[in-house]
Amino acid sequence: MNLLAVSINHRTAPVELRESLHLSTEEIKSFLKELKGNLFSEGFIISTCNRTEIYGFPINPRTNFKDLQKFLMEMKPVGDIRPDNFQNYFSCGAVNHLFRVSAGIDSLLLGDNQILGQVKESFQISEEFDFAGFLMKRIFDSAIKVGKRAKTETIISDGAITVSYAAVQLIEKIFSSLSRKSALVIGTGETGEIAAKHLRDKGIGTLSLTNRTMEKAEKLASAIHANAIPFSSFRECLHDYDIIISATSAPDLILTYDDVRASMKKRNGAPTIMMDIAIPRDIDPSIRELDSVFYHDIDSLKIIVDQNVKKRQGELPKVQSIIMEELVNLFGWYNSLEVTPTIRALRQVFEDIRLEEVDKIKNKLNPEDVEKLEMVTKRIINKLLHQPTVELKRISENGVNTQESAMKVNVIRSIFGLDHD
């Protein structure tokens, strides 16, 4: 299986680099248009707060990891990036990595509850662009199955395991009691919503929400008994909050150094936690230089990550066993699509049918007629199998696209039941 994958993630690059290579949904669609027909015959892209990854089947067998890295960097120019910021995977290694991602064991937070949904979304975008072919769809199905099995057959994802939850846990380590504190959550997408609900569950004193779409902020605020404030004016009341969590999908900073400095002057030295869990980041990281500001981003969550790993590492062998089982199933299916074994199996099926029917009647015939019957039935079988055999040999010998070959072989195996006992 000539599947290629490159990944830049939380283990290989700091948040500054990850946010530079983060792709919005529209950027992913634009990238897929360029990939399709140029580098890959089918593929998909995953881009989350902790990873940007490209997977695909190359059109040209000479396409390599450097070509894929070059494509990414030309489409999204970034300075100070090195080869060791990438992880490269091929064939079984690429599928294994994808399975680990889907299962949540390659995430910053072990057992991440959000990643499976993000993987599904990546698949859906690929299918929307007709960029998920015969093989990729089978890989998709297996990856989703791995993620679901990891959640249902182990406790790797039990409880609240998200970046939002880790952020709130870190806030609790700074402010021992939240009941007398006020918080503002900027952005009410999935990550912001989860953060807001965790703050509510932790008994936050006052909770406010803001979002570019006011209607969305008001809807969530009503559901969790919070306040909604207009996005256009939230900067003017920053000083009212002890805790600010920002989780938007904005491409640029929404809070500058000057914004925060102005708010801190109004707070008269009262400390503020600024938790930026967006990628790209929402808050200028230079605010960490301001007195009484506790600034944190995703890479600040190491202490929570370490605690999380200790609690869940006992489940890792179970998840890895699921991954291995599904890898064996997938590659067992893929290896069955080889041409020569299929030709052999197809002929054997027809020969078994021929022998069975000849055996039913040969006792009623004399030896000479039996010999003639054997000869005629063999000729019939050979003529029936001639065109399928020629076509299978052609796609094998002429090096036709692997996906096309695999698809044709799979159709033949399915039609004639070659994979059934």
340 or 401: which leads in pLDDT: 340
Which value, to the nearest 10 degrees, does the dihedral of the CA atoms of residues 212, 215, 221, 227 take?
A: 70
Residue 108 sits in the same domain as residue 193: no
Question: pTM of the prediction?
Answer: 0.76
Quick count: other Cβ atoms within 10 Å of Cβ 250?
A: 15
Number of domains, the chain: 3
pLDDT band at 82 (very low <50, low <70, confident <90, very high): confident
Q: Is residue 310 part of a domain?
A: no
Predicted local distance difference test score (pLDDT) of residue 160: 61
Beta pairing class for 182-186 and 206-210: parallel
Question: The CATH number of the domain where 170 resides is what?
Answer: 3.40.50.720
Predicted local distance difference test score (pLDDT) of residue 206: 94
- Closest of 3, 18, 52, 8 to residue 297, by C-alpha: 18
pLDDT of residue 368 exceeding 70: yes
Sheet holding 293-297, edge to edge: 227-228, 206-210, 182-186, 243-246, 272-276, 293-297
Predicted local distance difference test score (pLDDT) of residue 300: 86
37 or 256: which leads in pLDDT: 256
Sheet holding 40-48, edge to edge: 40-48, 51-58, 4-9, 87-90
Least confident among 210-214, 247-251, 341-345: 341-345
**Of 301, 324, 351, which residue constitutes the final position of a domain?**
301
Predicted local distance difference test score (pLDDT) of residue 391: 80
Residue 363 sits in the same domain as residue 295: no
User: What is the C-alpha separation between 40 and 2, in angstroms, rounded?
Assistant: 11
- In Å, how far are 138, 197, 258, 410 from 134, measured between CA atoms? 7, 41, 53, 10
Residue 176 sits in the same domain as residue 155: no
- Closest of 5, 4, 14 to residue 82, by C-alpha: 14
pLDDT of residue 401 exceeding 60: no
Q: Which segment, 48-62, 69-83, 295-309, 324-338, is predicted with the most confidence on average?
A: 48-62
Residue 20 sits in the same domain as residue 151: yes
Predicted local distance difference test score (pLDDT) of residue 255: 95
Q: Is 349 exposed, middle or buried (0-12, 13-18, 19+ CB in 10 A)?
A: middle
User: What is the C-alpha separation between 119 and 121, in angstroms, rounded?
Assistant: 5
pLDDT digits (tens, 9 = 90+) for 160-196: 678 888 899 899 888 878 999 999 999 999 899 999 9
Residue 155 sits in the same domain as residue 168: no
Question: The CATH number of the domain where 18 resides is what?
Answer: 3.30.460.30
pLDDT band at 305 (very low <50, low <70, confident <90, very high): confident
pLDDT of residue 155 exceeding 60: yes
Mean pLDDT value across residues 256-268: 93
Mean pLDDT value across residues 327-347: 83
Instruction: Please pick, among 49, 139, 194, 238, the residue that the annotation labels catalytic.
Output: 49
pLDDT of residue 402 exceeding 70: no
Q: Is residue 16 part of a domain?
A: yes
Of all residues in the chain, the percent with pLDDT exceeding 70 is 96
pLDDT of residue 108 exceeding 90: no
181 or 339: which leads in pLDDT: 181
Q: Is residue 250 part of a domain?
A: yes
Mean pLDDT value across residues 336-360: 85
Task: Kindly state the tokens that stand for 235.
Answer: 């900067």
Residue type, 270: A
Residue 368 sits in the same domain as residue 259: no
Predicted local distance difference test score (pLDDT) of residue 418: 79
**Of 301, 317, 352, which residue constitutes the final position of a domain?**
301
Predicted local distance difference test score (pLDDT) of residue 420: 60
User: What is the C-alpha separation between 217 and 231, in angstroms, rounded?
Assistant: 9
Q: Is residue 142 part of a domain?
A: yes
**Of 301, 324, 352, which residue constitutes the final position of a domain?**
301
* Average pLDDT of the chain to the nearest whole number: 89
Residue 98 sits in the same domain as residue 148: yes
Active site residue 49: yes
Range of the domain at 187: 163-301
Residue 37 sits in the same domain as residue 155: yes
Predicted local distance difference test score (pLDDT) of residue 398: 59
Of all residues in the chain, the percent with pLDDT exceeding 90 is 58
pLDDT of residue 14 exceeding 50: yes
Q: Is residue 328 part of a domain?
A: no
Residue 17 sits in the same domain as residue 95: yes
pLDDT band at 400 (very low <50, low <70, confident <90, very high): very low
Residue 155 sits in the same domain as residue 14: yes
Q: What angle do CA 320, 110, 80 make, to 5 degrees?
A: 105
pLDDT band at 379 (very low <50, low <70, confident <90, very high): very high
Give the largest CA-CA distance in the chain. 112
Mean pLDDT value across residues 107-129: 91
Please report how the helices 115-128 and 134-153 are oriented relative to each other, as an axis angle in degrees rounded to 10.
160
